[in-house]
Amino acid sequence: MEHLTEDKYGELMNTLNKALEKDDIERFRYEFLQLHSYDQAHIFNSQTDNARQKIYTYLSPEEMAEILQHFDSDQIEPVIAEMDPRFAVQILEEMSTDDAVDILNTLDKNIVASFLAIMNKEEASEIKDLLHYEEKTAGSIMTTEFVSVSSYMNVREAMLHLRNVAPDAETIYYVYVVDDQKRLVGVISLRDLIIAEDDCPVKEIMSERIVSVSVGDDQEEVGRVMMDYDLLALPVVDFQNHLLGIITVDDIMDVMEEEASEDYSKFAAVADMEKLDKNSFHAARKRIPWLVILLFLGMVTATIISRFETILSEKAILVVFIPLIMGMAGNTGTQALAVAVRGIATGELEKEGKKKIVYREAGTGLITGFTCGILIMAIVYLWKGDIYLGILVGITIMATLFVATIAGAFVPLVMHVLKIDPAVASGPFITTINDIISILIYFGIATVFMNLLL
């Protein structure tokens, strides 16, 4: 199965469209089902409403289930809405439980209730259990389709059990061992199970060093654990260590993409960037609240500047350097913010400690501030021929970069301690806050230098 190039894609689309026009089911299925399900999803999305209705009749629920797993959350609801409800339910029943839950979470509650009412009772029960978990927790993204064996089995019994349950499991690379109370007590790799002697007790070959997560853990923390330990699957347990489900690496990849998109949205002070807005009104509605907040913060800066009108009227040259100082403060603050938020997101914060990060950024701010301060001092002196103006701007840059760097690192760390997502300390907010700080520093120092300036 090869990757579709642009030329092959165009050729294939012509073939599939002709098959759809002629109602040539066999030709369509032959060409379409040779593709990877990702390419199938891409082609399906490019079809007209009438063409998609034909495709629903050409493909089985199992084949459509493979396609829907590659859809973005905003693409699911329109597709489900145009299907026959019974066909949609059959598709959900063919999916892994966690994937079915992901789709149902994008739908209206009334639609979900109607689907569950006509669904197979056993499947509906499993889905209801997962729907009860809080969104973006381990419980909401886990699957209950996993393989476990009893600690009282031997290898022969475990392999027999594995053959019976493996077809319905999402992954069998890890086989989890539970006691008679369904508590997680060990894990065996499939490799170890295959090479062990038939009469060997499972207890003797299982590993008791199990990495697991609690059902209520945040999905971002789950992703970090899976990445740190290089796991393909991660067991999910309750407070009594009962095995409830597993989270697989493909689910975590989706989670990390979602979290990255969410954090980027917050950094840009935009409510939601997971999908492109259909029109300007929707885009503006999301951005206006953030911009209004930033507008009022900007008014604080304007108010501070207005308090120094007398100084500005006497030494108009000071106005020239306001954009430079504010820009440098915003840039260095955003850099420190990015470092701090990344440290929190990757877990480096716990390894290094909050104080070490703040001290390191403070040192960075001191070095960069001193370097830029000396440089601007020389430039201003050569440009305007006023040594005291050069010293004023130089000292301001030194102090501003030092304080702005500390603020950029300190604010997200405080938010982290207060259990607030540090990504909300986005670039625009740090930039505006540092604008206020830099103006106060600049005019405070300028007041001292007033009598010395030419």
Domain boundary among the residues 98, 133, 168 is at 133
Tally of domains within the chain: 3
pLDDT category at 238 given cuts 50, 70, 90 is: very high
DSSP H helical segments within 83-153, as ranges? 85-94, 97-104, 109-118, 121-131, 138-141
Judgement on whether residues 152 and 93 belong to the same structural domain of the protein: no
> Which of 157, 158, 148 shows the shortest CA–CA distance to 233?
148
Judgement on whether residues 291 and 386 belong to the same structural domain of the protein: yes
| pLDDT (mean) for 388-411 | 90
pLDDT of residue 402: 92
pTM greater than 0.85: no
Residue 311 is assigned to a structural domain of this protein: yes
Judgement on whether residues 176 and 109 belong to the same structural domain of the protein: no
Judgement on whether residues 98 and 178 belong to the same structural domain of the protein: no
Residue 1 is assigned to a structural domain of this protein: no
Give me the sign of the Cα torsion angle 265, 268, 270, 273: negative
Domain boundary among the residues 109, 133, 157 is at 133
Residue 7 has pLDDT above 80, yes or no: no
Q: Which residues contact 424 (CB under 8 A, 6 or more apart)?
A: 266, 415
| pLDDT (mean) for 118-130 | 87
Give me the sign of the Cα torsion angle 175, 134, 226, 183: negative
Judgement on whether residues 431 and 286 belong to the same structural domain of the protein: yes
CATH number of the domain where residue 196 is located: 3.10.580.10
| pLDDT (mean) for 314-323 | 86
| Total Cβ atoms within 10 A of residue 82 | 12
If residue 51 lies in a helix (H) or strand (E), which one and from where to where?
Answer: helix 49-58
Judgement on whether residues 306 and 444 belong to the same structural domain of the protein: yes
Judgement on whether residues 319 and 431 belong to the same structural domain of the protein: yes
Judgement on whether residues 224 and 291 belong to the same structural domain of the protein: no
Cα 124-125-127 angle, rounded to 5 deg: 65
pLDDT of residue 449: 84
Residue 292 is assigned to a structural domain of this protein: yes
Judgement on whether residues 322 and 234 belong to the same structural domain of the protein: no
| pLDDT (mean) for 50-71 | 92
DSSP summary character for residue 207? B
- Domain of residue 318: give its range: 280-452
Judgement on whether residues 198 and 286 belong to the same structural domain of the protein: no
Q: How far apart are CA 104 and CA 88, in angstroms?
A: 11
Residue 272 is assigned to a structural domain of this protein: no
pLDDT of residue 345: 67
* Distances 182 to 145, 157, 186 between C-alpha atoms, Å: 15, 17, 11
Q: Pick the residue with more confidence: 107 or 453? A: 107
Residue 343 is assigned to a structural domain of this protein: yes
Q: Pick the residue with more confidence: 358 or 264? A: 358
Q: What is the CA radius of gyration of the chain?
A: 30
Judgement on whether residues 194 and 297 belong to the same structural domain of the protein: no
| pLDDT (mean) for 283-296 | 73
Q: What percent of the chain has pLDDT over 90?
A: 33
| pLDDT digit string, tens, across residues 106-122 | 888 888 888 998 998 88
pLDDT category at 423 given cuts 50, 70, 90 is: low
